[in-house]
Amino acid sequence: MSEKLERIPAFVAYAGTLSGDEKGEAQVFCDRLFRAFGHKGYKEAGASLEYRVKNGKRTKFADLLWKPRLLIEMKSVGEKLEKHYQQAFEYWLQLVPHRPRSTGIETVAPP
């Protein structure tokens, strides 16, 4: 088996040893995930941990952001993920560049 193909099962085995504590294990999990896919680590790939997401006066923290490829928001083992979809969606809304919608109507300035 090639080195690349060995990294994924090794990562899965490592992940199986974790207790599922979001605060205590998320950052190492993310770094190991990037290594499993052939990067030297999350930082070397250009990703950020605990990325600040501003929403008005409030600041929240996405567990990992790798612009423009990936947003990871982790939860502890046993959490009902459907309760947290809105949180990830709100992060996405704040992080994706806003583009004006085309109305299909062109305006022309008077001569």
* 57-83 pLDDT tens trace: 889 899 999 988 899 988 888 889 888
Q: Rounded CA gap, 30 and 44, in Å?
A: 12
Q: What is the pLDDT of residue 92?
A: 87
> What is the reported pTM?
0.76
Query: Helices (DSSP H) in the chain: which residue ranges?
Result: 3-15, 22-36, 42-45, 85-95
Q: Rounded CA gap, 35 and 26, in Å?
A: 14
